């Protein structure tokens, strides 16, 4: 199978959906000729024109709000938010307007929009361009949240998101844009709420989101060399969450580590861990562990930044302790 980058995969998904449906349009800062600072959208304005690849002034709440109204009245906007960190600027439009309109109207109005943005540290971009804020929006009923872990997922999830009649937020890891993966030429969609078992194993389950899937896979390689069999699961969407697959794996291996790049406290790792505790407790041989980004603003210095996010070695070390029966941090 051919291999393409995550950036090309997103671009292809958008182009295919825009060809398929005239009501799909892209809106955001420097999305047209510039194709975004990450060049993800290169070539789209040439094919679809400035009417459908719309450059905006620098006004995130404004164009997010405009997209909500456009979505309510018959179009399918794909909003480009240049950095995930800017999500704080659009919170009202996303969480008070887009997320609640369908409910507040008793199902009469819908907001079929996609918010594309990014996440991920270690790009030496410091505290306001490095955050992974997906847990913030996953907390809000009415929003769906997708976290592609490779080019394959990026394409399939984007196409599903555009066809979904709800507001969907997609977080792309900005360090993965140039990463290649096999992506079929034929059309495919990836359904929401269906986790992907990346690798089967029997001793421990490693649940990872976005780039943490690769971290978990590398940790599984390290562990395999030591005779520990790790199962790696990518939920692909955190809302909806494929709880059944995660629980089945937890029951099978009896040990779980959840790895995610959002801050560890009050985050995705805590949510998944507690669902497993509540529903698979009697199958567990060890506490479910959380590994998120350190609870500090992301620092600039590489020497500091690199220790704020989970690494394969770090995940493997914790896994080793769990399998050995060492109750981490348990009194």
Alpha-carbon torsion angle 279, 119, 199, 168, nearest 10: 60
CA distance 322 to 161: 37
Given 129, 217, 231, 261, the catalytic residue: 129
Using the contact rule CB under 8 A, the part of the chain among 33-41, 68-76, 153-161, 298-306 near another protein is 68-76
As a whole number of angstroms, the longest Cα–Cα distance in the chain is 63
Q: Which is nearer to another protein, 105 or 178 (CB)?
A: 105
Decide if 60 is catalytic: yes
Q: Any contact of residue 281 with another protein (CB under 8 A)?
A: no
Residue span binding another protein (CB under 8 A) among the ranges 13-21, 74-82, 196-204, 277-285: 74-82
Interactions with another protein, residue window 161-200 (CB under 8 A): 164-166
> Site for another protein (CB under 8 A): how many residues?
44
* H/E run at residue 66: helix 60-72
91 in contact with another protein (CB under 8 A): no
Spell out, one character per residue from 2 to 41, where the chain touches another protein: x when CB under 8 A holds, - when not.
Answer: ---------------------x-x----------------
Q: Is 279 in the site for another protein (CB under 8 A)?
A: no
- The helix/strand/coil state of 9 is helix
Residues within window 131-160 making contact with another protein, judged by CB under 8 A? 141-142, 144
Sequence-ordered strand ranges (E) for the chain: 3-5, 24-28, 53-55, 76-80, 114-119, 144-146, 168-173, 180-182, 196-199, 204-208, 230-234, 237-239, 256-263, 289-293
What is the nearest approach in angstroms of another protein to the Cβ of residue 106? Answer: 3
Q: Report residue 36 as tokens.
A: 């975004």
52 binds another protein (CB under 8 A): yes
């Amino acid at each position: 199978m051919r291999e393409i980058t995550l950036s090309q995969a997103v671009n292809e998904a958008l182009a295919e959906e825009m060809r398929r449906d005239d009501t799909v349009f892209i809106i955001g800062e420097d999305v047209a000729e510039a194709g975004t600072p990450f060049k993800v959208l290169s070539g789209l304005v040439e094919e679809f024109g400035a009417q459908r690849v719309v450059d905006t002034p620098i006004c995130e709440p404004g164009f997010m709000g405009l997209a909500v109204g456009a979505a309510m009245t018959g179009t399918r906007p794909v909003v480009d938010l240049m950095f995930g960190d800017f999500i704080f600027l659009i919170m009202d439009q996303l969480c008070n307007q887009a997320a609640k309109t369908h409910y507040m109207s008793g199902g009469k109005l819908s907001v079929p929009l996609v918010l594309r943005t990014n996440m991920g540290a270690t790009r030496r971009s410091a505290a306001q361009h490095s955050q992974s804020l997906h847990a913030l929006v996953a907390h809000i009923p009415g929003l769906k949240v997708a976290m592609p872990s490779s080019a394959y997922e990026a394409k399939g999830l984007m196409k599903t998101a555009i066809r979904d009649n709800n507001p969907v937020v997609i977080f792309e890891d900005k360090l993965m844009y140039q990463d290649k993966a096999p992506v079929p030429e034929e059309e495919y969609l990836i359904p929401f709420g269906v986790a992907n078992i990346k690798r089967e194993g029997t001793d421990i389950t490693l649940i990872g989101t976005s780039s943490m899937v690769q971290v978990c896979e590398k940790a599984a390689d390290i562990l395999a060399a030591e005779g520990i069999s790790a199962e790696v699961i990518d939920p692909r969407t955190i809302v909806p969450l494929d709880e059944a697959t995660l629980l089945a794996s937890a029951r099978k291996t009896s040990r779980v580590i959840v790895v995610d790049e959002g801050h560890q406290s009050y985050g995705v790792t805590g949510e998944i861990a507690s669902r497993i505790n509540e529903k698979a407790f009697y199958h567990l041989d060890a506490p479910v562990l959380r590994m998120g980004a350190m609870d500090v603003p992301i620092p600039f210095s590489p020497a500091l930044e690199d220790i704020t996010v989970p690494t394969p070695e770090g995940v493997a070390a914790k896994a080793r302790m769990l399998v050995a029966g060492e109750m981490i941090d348990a009194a």
